[in-house]
Structure 1
Amino acid sequence: MDTTVIHLGGLVVAALRQAGYAESTIGQYEKTIRALDRFVDGRGGAYTSALGVVFASLTTSPRTGRFSAIRRFNYTRLVTLFDALVDTGDVPLSVRKRGGGGRRPFSDTFISLNAEWEAEMIERELADATREAYGRTARGYLVFLEEHGIVRLEDADAGTITGFLESLLDRWAKSSLFWVVSNFRPFLTFTGRRDLVDALGLVGIRRSHPVLSVMADEDVQRVVTACASRTVVSSRDAAITLLALMTGLRSCDIIDLRLGDIDWRSQTISLIQQKTRNPVTLPLPGLLLARLADYVLNERPDTGDDHVFLRQLAPHTPLADHATIHRITTVVFTAAGVTDPRAGSRLLRHTAASRLLAAATALPTISAVLGHARIESTSIYLTVDEGRLAGCVLPVPAGARS
């Protein structure tokens, strides 16, 4: 196989064009290919994986003399395609998720334990997002043990639990450690180490219950008005934002929504919610239905993938994660003139719940709509119902007013 950069680069560019990539994106690839060609030209003229590693490590911009994130991204992206092309003869254009799931243990015992935990989560049919959260925390603990010379769980004591949690405080706020504890406990229970589970409980980290943030009525109206205009917001972005605002769907459920989940005649969507595995059927209000239909008929890429929402640029794969939904809703908020930086599905979900409460909807109904496994989970939304909260206030005693 011809392994010159020019030949390999031509195959990559041809694959990109066939997949429908934008010319601006292809131009960035071609720029990087030229840089790689200059680099390889003085080192034998043929591309190798070893040269690719060195090239990808050239992350310092010659113009500024500083680290360049864009250079690292472009160089690494091209080297990944070149390596795959040399090894398999194909150009893989699937979108890689960010993050990689965090650091992984290296000892045989912990690699085996992690694999058993992964298999257990699959057997329990946990949602993908739940498995990712549980798995990342478990791997983080195992890596922490290895860093302290422990490669068998039998040698871990209660002190390793507090030590692991304390090691997270450089990147986690203490008030947020509840989520780590929540994700950590199932793994410790799985290992059968009751002493470690008890140690986790003795740490005393409790969940805080702040008053939830919701959108002001005027901001809701701005977003709805922007979503109603075909010239202001794309149909895809409008449909996604309205789904979160009008139905309270979680990001993971919006991402996983399939064409077969939509009943156009009855104007509803029916799905199994990823987090709770509960089935739910939700009505599609007129505006939401119109923007969704416009996206499917006129804007959605022509592909065999049955996910409703796809990337607008090639490769036309399903949306990646919660961060993607946040970026989309941020674009809509900006177009609508709303400056709230928390323009994510969580804010929209809270707002949907608050509007249901304002309409005197019963808590069991709201719980069903939001897909809560327990009705107690819905009670937190009472914190945004100012009318009902005011009814709980005791009158000031007469003596205190004088």
Structure 2
Amino acid sequence: MDTTVTHLGTVVIVALRAAGYMESTIGNYQKTIKALTEFAADRGSAYTPELGAEFASMTISPRTGRFSVQRRFDFGRLIDVIDSYVRTGHVDLSIRSRGGGGRQPTCDEFTALNAEWEEDMHERGLAPATREAYGRVARGYLVYLEDQGISDLDDAGPATITGYFTYLLDHGWAQSSLSWQVSNFRPFMKFTGRCDLVDAIALIGARRSHAIIPVLTDDDAERLVNACASSPMISSRDAAITLLALLTGLRACDIINLRLDDIEWRTQTISLIQQKTHNPVLLPLPGLLATRLADYVLEDRPDSDDDHVFLRSVAPPTQLADHASIYVITAATFRKAGVTDVKAGTRFLRHTAASRLLRAATPLPTIAAVLGHASQESTNVYMNVDHDHLLACVLPVPTGARS
């Protein structure tokens, strides 16, 4: 096999064009291949995985002198593709998940502890997104300990807990996000059995705010639905995804993982096991949603062996990558519908679905079932958006207090 960088770059470009990638995407690959060629010029013409790893690690932008997310993605993606060809003789263009998960612990004890934690989360059936959130903050703490010269958890005292969260704040984390990080961190500390470190978490003093949940106004909701029904600028796929989130309250992860067999066309229902809670849920498909979904599946969906309902609209036609993919779709749909003063994620649409159910006097247990909540307590947060019923609870000001 010819392993020169020039030849490998040519192989990758040919594979991209054969898979139907857009020329703009191919152009980005060509720029990265040029950078790799220049990098390899002083190191010999042959490509090696070690050379590739060194190239991929160059994540500092020479223009700004700072870490570049785009540079990390472009360089890492090219090296992944080239390495797949060197290993197997086939260019693997499967989608690579965003993000890198942060630094990994390196000492033997922490590496083993991290692996045990990942295995424990997997055995308990935690959703992938939950495992990633818990794992990221746990790995961050272990790496923080290593940076402090600690390689054994027995040597970590309560001060390392407060020190770690101070470190997070000093390196870009917002104070408002601290409560979420604490919530994600506590299960790991309980797993380690270090009760003193668990107790030290309380010293951080993070408090979760309970702001009133924003929802779509009736006018904006009507404008969005009408656009999904008739606007030629909104594809059937994007309309179906937006309506699915708005009318059923499905989470982004469940929209991404929805499969063709989950749809019962005769009864116009969707039946699935929710990824976050593992609860089964049966949801009706309102007429417009069923129509737009059928338009996509029958007419616009790319030919693919992948049985996920929603596929990428550009090559390769595989399952949507992650929550960010859904956000890009819904945000574009909002913009085309003329609804531009809100942040159009599936969480926002889920809140709107819950508020509409409440206003229709739907019992809380029913809403909890529709939204797939593991506990009805999770549904109570939506009660603060039911303005009409909240007003009915307001007591009049006593007459004596007016004077």
Give the alignment's TM-score, normalised by structure 1. 0.91
Q: Does 1:302 align with 2:307?
A: no
The 1-side partners of 2:128 and 2:9 are apart by: 36
The 2-side partners of 1:237 and 1:58 are apart by: 34
- Point out the more displaced range, 374-383 or 159-168: 159-168
Letter of the 1:135 counterpart? G
Give the match for residue 133 of structure 1: 133
Deviation at 1:287, TM superposition (A): 0.7
* Cα deviation code 1:266-289 (max 9, x no counterpart): 100011111111111000001111
* Cα deviation code 1:16-63 (max 9, x no counterpart): 2332222332344345545655665676554455665676649767xx
The 1-side partners of 2:45 and 2:114 are apart by: 43
Q: What SS does the aligned partner of 1:280 have?
A: strand
- Give 1:1-400 correspondences, 5 Å limit: 1-33=1-33, 36=36, 45-49=45-49, 52=52, 57=58, 73-170=73-170, 171-229=172-230, 231-400=232-401
Deviation at 1:93, TM superposition (A): 0.8
The 2-side partners of 1:37 and 1:174 are apart by: 43
- Point out the more displaced range, 38-47 or 237-246: 38-47
Deviation at 1:221, TM superposition (A): 1.1
Deviation at 1:150, TM superposition (A): 1.3
* Cα deviation code 1:204-238 (max 9, x no counterpart): 32322111111111111111111112512111111
Q: What SS does the aligned partner of 2:297 have?
A: helix
The 1-side partners of 2:38 and 2:167 are apart by: 44
Letter of the 1:97 counterpart? S
- Point out the more displaced range, 48-57 or 280-289: 48-57
Q: What SS does the aligned partner of 2:379 have?
A: helix
4+ long deviations beyond 6 Å: 64-69
Letter of the 1:130 counterpart? T
Deviation at 1:66, TM superposition (A): 7.8
- Point out the more displaced range, 18-27 or 124-133: 18-27
Where does the alignment leave 5 or more consecutive residues of structure 2 unmatched? none
Structure 1 residues 132 and 293: CA distance shift in structure 2, 3 A: same
Structure 1 residues 322 and 6: CA distance shift in structure 2, 3 A: same
Deviation at 1:141, TM superposition (A): 1.1
Indicate conservation of the 8 Å contact 2:162/2:201, yes or no: yes
The 1-side partners of 2:275 and 2:397 are apart by: 47
**Alignment length, in residue pairs?**
400
Q: What SS does the aligned partner of 1:3 have?
A: coil
Deviation at 1:244, TM superposition (A): 0.7
The 2-side partners of 1:392 and 1:283 are apart by: 32
Indicate conservation of the 8 Å contact 2:77/2:96, yes or no: no
Indicate conservation of the 8 Å contact 2:165/2:204, yes or no: no
Letter of the 1:299 counterpart? D
The 2-side partners of 1:330 and 1:354 are apart by: 20
The 2-side partners of 1:331 and 1:319 are apart by: 16
> Structure 1 vs Structure 2: percent identity of aligned residues?
65
The 1-side partners of 2:38 and 2:162 are apart by: 52
Q: What SS does the aligned partner of 1:281 have?
A: strand
Deviation at 1:263, TM superposition (A): 0.6
The 2-side partners of 1:377 and 1:77 are apart by: 39
Letter of the 1:227 counterpart? C
- Point out the more displaced range, 266-275 or 313-322: 313-322
* Cα deviation code 1:295-341 (max 9, x no counterpart): 11112121111111111111222112211111111100110111134
The 1-side partners of 2:76 and 2:153 are apart by: 36
The 2-side partners of 1:94 and 1:156 are apart by: 41
Indicate conservation of the 8 Å contact 2:59/2:69, yes or no: no
- Point out the more displaced range, 13-22 or 372-381: 13-22
The 2-side partners of 1:159 and 1:58 are apart by: 32
Deviation at 1:176, TM superposition (A): 2.1
- Point out the more displaced range, 6-15 or 290-299: 6-15
Structure 1 residues 208 and 38: CA distance shift in structure 2, 3 A: closer
Structure 1 residues 89 and 59: CA distance shift in structure 2, 3 A: farther
Deviation at 1:69, TM superposition (A): 6.7
The 1-side partners of 2:380 and 2:60 are apart by: 50
Alpha-carbon RMSD across the aligned residues, in angstroms, is 2.4
Indicate conservation of the 8 Å contact 1:224/1:242, yes or no: yes
The 1-side partners of 2:64 and 2:112 are apart by: 44
- Point out the more displaced range, 80-89 or 8-17: 80-89
Indicate conservation of the 8 Å contact 1:59/1:69, yes or no: no
Letter of the 2:349 counterpart? L
Indicate conservation of the 8 Å contact 1:330/1:341, yes or no: no
